[in-house]
Copies of this chain bind each other. A is one copy, B any other.
Amino acid sequence: MSTIVSVDTQDVRFPTSLHLDGSDAMNPDPDYSAAYVTVRTDSTDGLEGHAFVFTIGRGNDVQVAAIDALRGHFVGADVETLLSDMGGVHRALIRDSQLRWLGPEKGVMHMAIGAVVNALWDLRAKRAGQPLWQHLAGLSPEEIVSLVDFRYLTDALTPGEALQILRRAEPGRAERIADLTAVGYPAYTTSPGWLGYSDEKLDRLCRAAVADGFPLIKLKVGADVDDDVRRLRIARDAVGPDFPLAIDANQRWDVADAIRWVNTLAEFQLAWIEEPTSPDDILGHAAIAAAVAPVRVATGEHAQNRIIFKQLLQADGMQVMQIDASRVGGINENIANLLLAAKFDAPVCPHAGGVGLCEAVQHLSMFDYVAVSGTMDGRMIEYVDHLHEHFVTPTRVVGGRYQAPVAPGAGTEMWPASLDVYTWRGAHPSVTV
């Protein structure tokens, strides 16, 4: 028997805007940040749960306040009771009748719930002595189904259908675990394509990405169409005619703009157009997808919950699903998203980058491969080579592939020294020095 003794938060911000890393058409000056949470218990094992919500600077304090508002649900609670009923914990938070008004199931409050849920998963995986992906992949189909809140999903996916999907993937789990451990999971890179980079840097980084073994490169677009044509030409020349190039507009366009702009870029034979318009616009995505085919529409990093993903799939507005580790209500809701993707046969290519998103989301893709979709075909995880050094168990990407984590936990624990140096005190350390 052990008890949760504290749920502590920290407002952590990195001064990334000083270098234009991460700049795109909608986010010219992000300061990659984490509203970070640590769950501590009185157990003699000394294990802690760590997780965060990723933000891009201002407002990270609001996100921290939202996590703080959940503290009362946990401090003093029995650890074993909570960790043995993660479906119940998730549902109780999502359905808190007063907090629900602040969303429902979206924005700051929903992401806060996700962070706390994820911290408990980190703790649970550490107590089991397993990396999270493997811990989840060891659950029975019935246990996995019990983690999901099917409210508002049953017109597209019932618990019975979810069980069928999971049972279909049960044979071969051991082989796929061995496979993952041997060869890892495909990564793609966005590092060459930020808008703030020079043409020379774009060319150089594209060539380096191909040499490094990445199977796809993504470029930010949407600020100026002539610039986009020039930069795509540089990238296409650098990588050759058949190498997959994708583009990302970061919600810059209205529907008609998106269709016109993407079709203007048809010569570059793009693998996908990502976030062409508002992430809330199901019907807009469907209209765009129909008009720019065979270019596929990818979205999801700002999809607020499983209900949006459900509709994007129902309306054929999204051909590539890009889940994000810290946008929705935690690992439980992302399991719902993976099951929806499997039902609709859509490849999941998670959003990552930022702070710790690579570390977190790789576990979901690997769990998907072992226990849900059972395939890596057409799947890959975004990779950006920023800020990994602040994590206790950083991602390892070798030859364009994420290596399967072996350390216990969810990968979301930061070094105490990093937390200390980058805790926000009203100015960036590099500015105050």
Contact = CB atoms under 8 A, between A and B. Distances in A.
A398 interface: no
Contacts of A28: 97
A322 interface: no
B29 A98 contact: yes
Interface in A71-119: 96-112
Contacts of A55: 98, 101-102
Which residue, A55, A308, A311, has most C-beta atoms of chain B within 10 A?
A311
Interface string A49-66: 000000111110111011
A106 B102 CA distance: 10
A27 to B, nearest CB: 5
Given A106-B107, A108-B107, A283 B98 contact: no
Contacts of A106: 106-107, 280, 304
Interface residues of A, number: 61
A366 B213 CA distance: 63
A281 interface: yes
B307 A254 contact: no
Interface string A239-273: 00000000000010011100000000000000000
A368 B215 CA distance: 54
Contacts of A96: 58
A305 interface: yes
A58 B280 CA distance: 26
A263 to B, nearest CB: 16
Q: How many copies of this chain does the complex contain?
A: 2
Given A108-B108, A154-B256, A155-B287, A59 B102 contact: yes
A293 to B, nearest CB: 18
A347 interface: no
A302 interface: yes
Contacts of A102: 55, 59, 62-63, 107-108, 111
A134 B56 CA distance: 40
A277 interface: yes
A358 B366 CA distance: 51
A107 B315 CA distance: 24
A301 to B, nearest CB: 10
A284 interface: yes
A282 B284 contact: no
Contacts of A57: 98, 101
A279 interface: yes
A359 interface: no
Contacts of A255: 154-155
Contacts of A154: 254-256
A36 to B, nearest CB: 16
A278 interface: yes
A6 interface: no
A62 B65 CA distance: 6
Interface string A137-173: 0000000000000011111000000000000000000
Contacts of A99: 58-59
Contacts of A111: 102
A21 interface: no
Contacts of A178: none
A31 B61 CA distance: 25
B307 A280 contact: yes
Interface in A270-327: 277-284, 287, 302, 304-305, 307-308, 310-311, 314-315
A225 interface: no
Contacts of A104: 251, 278-279, 302
7 contacts: A28-B97, A29-B98, A30-B98, A62-B62, A154-B254, A155-B254, A283-B311
> Closest 4 CB pairs between A and B?
A107-B107, A65-B65, A57-B98, A58-B98
Interface of A: 26-31, 55-59, 61-63, 65-66, 69, 96-112, 151-155, 251, 254-256, 277-284, 287, 302, 304-305, 307-308, 310-311, 314-315
